[in-house]
Amino acid sequence: MTSLSRARARPAAPRMAPVAAVRTLLRAALLVAGAVAMPVFAAPFELGAAPSRYELASKPGDRVGQVLDLQNMGNATTDLTLRTLDWTYTAEGQIGYHDELLPGSCRPWVTLERRSLKLGPMEKRRFRFQIDVPPDAPRQECRFMIAIEGVEPAYQALVREQGLNLRLPVSGRIAVAVYVAVGGAAPRLVLESAGMREQQGRRQPVVVVRNDGDAHGRLSGSLDARGADGRQQEWLAEGTPVMPGQTRQLLLSPRPEEGLVPKPLPLPVRTTGLLDWEEGSFRVEAEFR
């Protein structure tokens, strides 16, 4: 039996990114289709970026200025380029990056301080950008990525194909998401159900969440879970975004203990607790079979 109810609404969480630095370590990856790769010696593309995303609010006609903190985490000078990208996120959790302007893109509103940057070993630098929201902008959520990419290839891959040696440059990238809620745009999440679903080739506990609003939303919080053998765990809700108009299955995963992945609880599993979102909470009492 499953009981899902909405608890008394809480004040909306601030739509600003955390102040604390979030380091993102990125190493370039090589994808070569239809070819046999020879041994590769990789030089790391290492960059720290903080915050990891921006969640902002604005009114039509406003100018919103922000700062991105960058640090070269490596021991060699790094040349970087900076640009904006459009992006999409599917209900299945697949992200797509787009150089071209998508319909309704707000990237023309964005001004970057510069398009290139050189960072010495372990050097830190502040990078500024601003969003000029048009006075006639409708209520909406403006979304784009700031892509920070290596100018020089992160490494060269030597490929032998048909007797030819081809050098294929591969560059590293960090993409920082920026969300701007214009004119009061906000999520409106609905918790439809909870149960076991086929996810990633195996049955896993999920909650099904629909977003009837006009801005993305995220779940947080946890559930107390008790398995058929009496063992207990704390299940955390997947915190990836639910875009406007989407219905998504979000995984419930046990909290790791001392860096170890806990063993799955035997079914049936009874759960209770609160799952939070930007403008409220859902009380969950569910049995997973």
Residues 6 or more apart in contact with residue 11 via CB below 8 angstroms: none
Q: Report which of residues 157 and 151 the model is more confident about.
A: 151
Q: What is the pLDDT of residue 199?
A: 73
What is the average pLDDT across 48-70?
Answer: 97
DSSP string, 224-265: EEE-TTS-EEEEEEP---B-TT-EEEEEEEEPPBTTBPPPPP
Question: Quick one: average pLDDT of 157-161?
Answer: 40
Query: Does the reported pTM lie above 0.85?
Result: no
What is the pLDDT of the chain when averaged over all its residues?
A: 83
pLDDT of amino acid 158: 39
Are 242 and 218 within 8 A, CB to CB? yes
Percent of the chain surpassing pLDDT 90:
70
- Which backbone phi and psi does 244 adopt, to 5 degrees? -55, 130
State the pLDDT confidence band at 129, using cuts at 50, 70 and 90.
very high
The answer on pLDDT for 18 being more than 50 is no
Q: What is the mean pLDDT of residues 79-100?
A: 95
pLDDT of residue 287: 97
pLDDT of residue 33: 30
As a whole number of angstroms, the distance between CA 100 and CA 91 comes to: 22
pLDDT: is 142 or 162 the higher one? 142
pLDDT at position 258, please? 79
Decide if 153 contacts 170 (C-beta within 8 A).
yes
Cis peptide before 51 (omega within 30 of 0): yes
Structural domains in the chain? Answer: 36-182 (2.60.40.10), 186-288 (2.60.40)
Angstrom distance (rounded) from CA 193 to CA 239: 17
Between 156 and 182, name the one with better pLDDT.
Answer: 182
